[in-house]
Amino acid sequence: MDTHPVSGPNGPSRRTFLSAAAVTAAAAPILTQAAPAHAAPAGLGSAQNTGKFDPASRALIKQIDPKRIQATILRLTQFGTRHTLSSQTDSVRGIGAATAWVTQQMQAIAATSNGNMTVQQQTFVQPVSSRIPVPTAITNVIATLHGTAFPERFYVVTGHLDSRVTDVLDFTSDAPGADDDGSGVACVLELARLFATHQFPGTIVFATVAGEEQGIFGSTFMAQQMASAGNDVQGMFSNDIIGASHSFDGNKPNPFTVRMFLEGVPTNVTSNQIALLQSVGGENDGLSRQLGRFVKSVAPFNLTGMNIRLIWRRDRYLRASDHVSFQGRGYPAARFSEPRENFNHEHQNTQVVNGVQLGDLIDFVDFDYIARVTGVNAAALWGLASSPSTPKNVQIHTAPPGTFSGTNLTTMDWKANPETNLTGYEVVMRETTDSDWTEALPVGNVTSVTLDISKDNVQFGIRAVDHNRNRSPVAFPQAVA
């Protein structure tokens, strides 16, 4: 049994290391003898995606239209301001008129869905807080593409409709919000338009949320409502400031990169759960990090024309967006944002100071770039909605056998997935220092496995695989006695 470290130029290769630990695919719990080195069991392979993508997904991404995105952002800027405290009754200017317009757009899209998409205005009254001087109605606009087989399984994509200037309480000055977050709203509308004529086993939600600049209030309410309803949100994306490929600050444009922010230790866990994650080195294996790894595998450059720069951080310094609301409810969530911001163009009054144009103007927005970021979202949503759900109740057992103080065997079990088209499950592995899964072991259509690979040395996860070779996001096991 090879137990050598795998790193270093002269050390054993990873493949040697892993092939020394045998696994068989069978319907029974698995415990086998070590196989000879270099005799990899059949099916042992890379953890990475095969690179074959649904032609329908590719076709949908090709239909993303920068001109529609441009028209949406232009229209949004014409409401003058979309500040949360601006008029809700003026038909021309303010958040009320903007909300009505977005609702009309969503309804027109839903009309093409053969009844599969419904549109809702979700309104609530936000009580007084530091950025809300009087109780204020806040309205999210939500288009839901209902799932055919597992409608309780949800994927959510948002942009925020509200805008602001330098003074966060100034609701009268022009706040065009072209990039923050007209870009995200345009992305969501374009995704809704193109997905409306497709169907998936799970439910996809396209939402423009509001009250973001005053304290992510709209998305907080939406996430609370979904949690109260027992909705199983398995992935959420906030598109916030996805409009500029060029920072106009002397740095080169970076039109083929989008940042994806992913928190580590989950927001909503107890101190005991944090202690457990620390004890097993699970800091990089929270739900959102697994979502990021999955998106990277289903939305590669050869499909979207974009590189995803994963950033292991909840959000940028000093900032937050609507993904934080969903993380707070225990849901995997991420934020997409442009590669390098120009803060002259965010949260600023529109004015020229010392010859420098300030303000969130449409002039600084790149519609082709937004189209490509929309493509990343499309590939991610299509991949999630077309693949098996993330396995649940995945556990790794730590109780030592008999009179021994530990064991080098690794036993995991999980709850069977509900899908009927599964071929089985894969154990995925990586060195503890690797950023992404590197190896996959098919283990058959079983709900437990015992491997002769020490859990002390690597990270393990479980994912489900269907007949089309779609793989679910990875579930990181919880350690139990």
The site for Zn ion (CB under 5 A) is made up of 180-181, 240
Q: How far is the CB of 318 from Zn ion (least distance, A)?
A: 13
* CB 192, CB 205: distance < 8 Å: no
Rounded CA-CA distance 348/214 in Å is 15
Query: How many other β-carbons are positioned within 10 Å of the β-carbon of residue 270?
Result: 8
Q: How far is the CB of 401 from Zn ion (least distance, A)?
A: 54
Q: How far is the CB of 134 from Zn ion (least distance, A)?
A: 23
Q: How far is the CB of 378 from Zn ion (least distance, A)?
A: 21
CA distances for 429 relative to 271, 388, 461, 463, angstroms: 27, 19, 6, 11
Rounded CA-CA distance 287/151 in Å is 21
Identify any residues that bridge with 122 across adjacent strands, giving them in sequence order.
Answer: 140
Rounded CA-CA distance 458/454 in Å is 7
Side chain identity at residue 86, one-letter code: S
Decide whether 338 or 426 has the Cβ nearer to Zn ion: 338
Rounded CA-CA distance 472/298 in Å is 10
Q: How far is the CB of 184 from Zn ion (least distance, A)?
A: 7
Decide whether 296 or 347 has the Cβ nearer to Zn ion: 347
Residues for the chain: how many in total? Answer: 481
Q: How far is the CB of 163 from Zn ion (least distance, A)?
A: 8
Decide whether 76 or 110 has the Cβ nearer to Zn ion: 76
Decide whether 195 or 336 has the Cβ nearer to Zn ion: 336
Of 458, 462, 386, 471, nearest in space to 423 by CA? 471
Decide whether 240 or 263 has the Cβ nearer to Zn ion: 240
Identify any residues that bridge with 422 across adjacent strands, giving them in sequence order.
Answer: 466
Rounded CA-CA distance 93/475 in Å is 47
Q: Which residue has the tokens 């205005």?
A: 121
Phi, psi dihedrals of residue 277, rounded to the nearest 5°: -60, -40
Q: What is the DSSP letter of 88?
A: S
Rounded CA-CA distance 361/175 in Å is 9
Helix (H, G, I), strand (E, B) or coil at 150: strand
CA distances for 468 relative to 196, 422, 423, 472, angstroms: 23, 9, 9, 12
Query: How many other β-carbons are positioned within 10 Å of the β-carbon of residue 274?
Result: 14
Decide whether 213 or 366 has the Cβ nearer to Zn ion: 213
Decide whether 181 or 341 has the Cβ nearer to Zn ion: 181
Q: Residue 3 corresponds to which tokens in the numbers above?
A: 């137990």
Q: Residue 25 corresponds to which tokens in the numbers above?
A: 């695919």
Query: How many other β-carbons are positioned within 10 Å of the β-carbon of residue 354?
Result: 5
Q: How far is the CB of 162 from Zn ion (least distance, A)?
A: 8
Q: How far is the CB of 362 from Zn ion (least distance, A)?
A: 16
Side chain identity at residue 220, one-letter code: T
Q: How far is the CB of 337 from Zn ion (least distance, A)?
A: 9
Q: How far is the CB of 232 from Zn ion (least distance, A)?
A: 27
Decide whether 180 or 466 has the Cβ nearer to Zn ion: 180
Rounded CA-CA distance 363/348 in Å is 15
Decide whether 179 or 426 has the Cβ nearer to Zn ion: 179
Decide whether 240 or 366 has the Cβ nearer to Zn ion: 240
Rounded CA-CA distance 185/196 in Å is 16
Q: How far is the CB of 313 from Zn ion (least distance, A)?
A: 17
Decide whether 182 or 442 has the Cβ nearer to Zn ion: 182
Decide whether 179 or 466 has the Cβ nearer to Zn ion: 179
- Residues 6+ away with beta carbon under 8 Å from 159: 181, 183, 184, 185, 186, 187, 188, 208, 209, 238, 239, 240
Q: How far is the CB of 244 from Zn ion (least distance, A)?
A: 13
